[in-house]
Amino acid sequence: MRIQTEEKVTIKAVYDTDLNSLLEKLGMMEDMKNGKIKCSFCDCMLSVDNFGGIFNEKGHLKPFCKKTECYLEVLKRKNAFK
């Protein structure tokens, strides 16, 4: 089954119940478990505990962590693309 993530995932604040299904849809669940996914801004390793969400930048899905400064970066970018 193919899922068109590029169109659907613009910015998602992800909360506990959504997180697993979103990561599985994106095929990122394994990487997350293996510690292979990093925050796009501060470069910290993302886990279920500090995962903030994913945003779409020019068709690239970028995960970010829960830190306030990273979240603000996402918001800045989101505004920039409008």
Binding site for Zn ion (CB under 5 A): 39, 41-42, 65, 67, 70
To the nearest whole angstrom, how small is the minimum distance from the Cβ of residue 1 to Zn ion?
A: 31
User: Of 3 and 72, which has the nearer Cβ to Zn ion?
Assistant: 72
**Residue whose pair of structure tokens reads 């292979």 in the numeric block:** 36
To the nearest whole angstrom, how small is the minimum distance from the Cβ of residue 6 to Zn ion?
A: 22
User: Of 41 and 55, which has the nearer Cβ to Zn ion?
Assistant: 41
